[in-house]
Amino acid sequence: MGKDTGFIEFEKQAVPRREIRERVQDFREYDLNYSDNDIRQQASRCMDCGIPFCHMGCPLGNMIPDWNDLVYRDQWQDALGALHSTNNFPEFTGRICPAPCEDSCVLNEHYTLDPEEKIKKKHAVTIEQIEKHIAERGWEEGWIQPQPPKKETGKKVAVIGSGPAGLAAAQQLRRVGHQVTVFEKDDRLGGLLVYGIPDFKLDKIHVQRRIDQMTQEGVEFKTGIEIGKDLKISDLRKQFDALLIAIGAQHARKLEAEGNNLTGVHYAMDYLPQRNREVAGDVLKDGEKIEASGKKAVILGGGFTAADCLGNLNRQGVHPEVCQFELVDMLPRPTPVHEEAQMDSRANILTESLSGSSEGNVQSLNAVKVQWEKGSGMKRLEDTRFSVNADLVLLALGFLGPSLEGLLQELNLEMDVRGKNQALRVQELQKLMRDGQPMFQVRADQNFMTSCDGVFVAGDAKRGASLVVWAIWEGREAARCIDLYLMGESNLPSSPQAEMLA
């Protein structure tokens, strides 16, 4: 513990951010960096608790008190080593993780109540920002270098998907000497890091730096190849000793209300990728771009995907007041982009229908307030129906599971389905989904192995749509299990803290 009384002497310092009027004019990151002196002061607030609950809150089991202490003592390179021992990509999690570690910080037991906002203002250590600062210091100083393996095993592994789970697994497997090839169906590497997370939260230079590092380590990347469509999985299995499926969970929940097919109604994952493509310099085809300038927008959903949509709308010049409705009894978690718009934000709202013009363009959304009752589910409340004008409706209703077409269909793997006690094969699940929208994921044993020998799964495809920190952990753990499968033993590290939470 660097400073015994740091948590008493120093207040939690708010994250420095760019002015709203400035940042909505571009797609550069809205968070600024603390000064080195300020970040060391924030690190000194860590109490080095006898039982550090931040460890338990972090799926990766990051050694948080250790690197807080090292930062306070100005031992940055050692702090980077401690950080990298559990996390391949701390500059990702330092920007886009919702920081469950901070929610678990003991200092949260001391809070102040803001009477105007009617919320608890917590005083946790600024763990996420310290993590980001350590990683950036590592890049600036040149401490982050490629780590090619010292010897080759002769084993070949194919990783399908280049999101955080696939990248973490690929790096771990390569560093122990396996030949690793990553297949990505899109034209750029990074999965949702590149085509889901907006640049104002995660500038893509941070992803590219890691791709470059992994390329120098010997990982081979192939883009524009969709396994199960462009290349059969049966052919892939003949070429590789093991396969890892890390395709995410992008099967979106549908809006079942009348009028869901009107022009101007779009899924979030149709909207967000094209915005990122434009920022990257791509020119969209005529009629393909989802325009928002001056439009009255409604976002359905209250998660981080919905917030990403809002941030993009703000930067497209949407009508100043944006509506955001959440079906469940929980207001959307406030994010920096919620500061940028005049929000009509409501929970417990059910969309009953969408109304449109004679030309088929959406014009309004018709909804009702609901109440959730234990045992009986959702109940519509009398005399609460209302309508709002809407030229643009974005659906961020969550994700049911991975895409079932292509490689999963070809393998016909066992799938776990919420509400079902037994596993269903892909083809059985496809029949079930004709009558409903169950949540599902690829079934795997404790070693990340699917029902097909030598085929492993990690990330959202295995656990359902989740956080980037969980995806990195899944990739690291899957890599250890694949290494064990191929070699009979593995020196890759495991995270016992995350195993308890899994």
DSSP class of 370: E
* d(C-alpha 167, C-alpha 170), whole Å: 5
Q: Is the pLDDT of residue 1 over 80?
A: no
Of the candidate CATH numbers 3.40.50.300, 3.40.640.10, 3.55.40.20, 3.50.50.60, the domain formed by 255-397 belongs to 3.50.50.60
What residues does 31 pair with on adjacent strands?
17
Of 149-163, 384-398, 412-426, which gets the smallest average pLDDT?
412-426
Do you know the residue count of the chain? 502
If you average pLDDT over residues 457-475, what whole number do you get? 96
For residue 60, the model assigns a pLDDT of 92
- Name the CA radius of gyration of the chain, rounded: 23
For residue 501, the model assigns a pLDDT of 47
Query: Do the strands 242-245 and 179-184 form a parallel or antiparallel pair, or are they unpaired?
Result: unpaired
DSSP H or E stretch at residue 405? none
Q: Are 204 and 198 in contact (CB under 8 A)?
A: no
DSSP class of 84: H
If you average pLDDT over residues 367-381, what whole number do you get? 92
Per DSSP, the three-state class of 40 is helix
List the structure tokens of 275. 């915005």
* d(C-alpha 188, C-alpha 179), whole Å: 21
pLDDT band at 120 (very low <50, low <70, confident <90, very high): low
For residue 417, the model assigns a pLDDT of 95
For residue 57, the model assigns a pLDDT of 87
27-77 residue pLDDT tens: 999 999 999 999 999 999 998 888 888 988 899 989 999 999 999 999 999
410-450 residue pLDDT tens: 999 999 999 888 899 999 999 999 989 999 999 999 999 99
Which among 137, 132, 139, 131 is positioned nearest to 46, based on CA atoms? Answer: 131
* d(C-alpha 207, C-alpha 210), whole Å: 5
Question: End-to-end distance of the chain based on CA atoms, in angstroms?
Answer: 30
For residue 3, the model assigns a pLDDT of 82
CATH superfamily for domain 156-251+400-501? FAD/NAD(P)-binding domain (3.50.50.60)
For residue 111, the model assigns a pLDDT of 58
**CA 83, 88, 93, 94 torsion-angle sign:** positive
pLDDT band at 285 (very low <50, low <70, confident <90, very high): confident
Q: Are 272 and 308 in contact (CB under 8 A)?
A: yes
If you average pLDDT over residues 472-490, what whole number do you get? 97
Q: Is the pLDDT of residue 114 over 80?
A: no
Tokens 């927008």 found at:
297
For residue 110, the model assigns a pLDDT of 66
Q: Do domains 156-251+400-501 and 255-397 have the same CATH topology?
A: yes
What residues does 114 pair with on adjacent strands?
119
Percent residues over pLDDT 70 in the chain: 95
Which among 461, 452, 454 is positioned nearest to 410, based on CA atoms? Answer: 452
341-373 residue pLDDT tens: 889 999 999 999 999 999 999 999 999 999 998
Residue-range domain boundaries for the chain: 6-141, 156-251+400-501, 255-397
pLDDT band at 2 (very low <50, low <70, confident <90, very high): low
If you average pLDDT over residues 259-269, what whole number do you get? 97
Longest dimension (CA), the chain: 71
Average pLDDT of the chain?
93
Burial call 48-72: b when 16+ CB within 10 Å, e when fewer: eeeebebbbbbbbbbbbbbbbbbbb
CATH architecture of 6-141: Orthogonal Bundle (1.10)
For residue 121, the model assigns a pLDDT of 60
* d(C-alpha 241, C-alpha 158), whole Å: 8
- Kindly report the backbone phi and psi dihedral angles of residue 294, in degrees, each rounded to the nearest multiple of 5, phi listed first: 75, -5
208-230 residue pLDDT tens: 999 999 999 999 999 999 999 99
Q: Are 299 and 309 in contact (CB under 8 A)?
A: yes
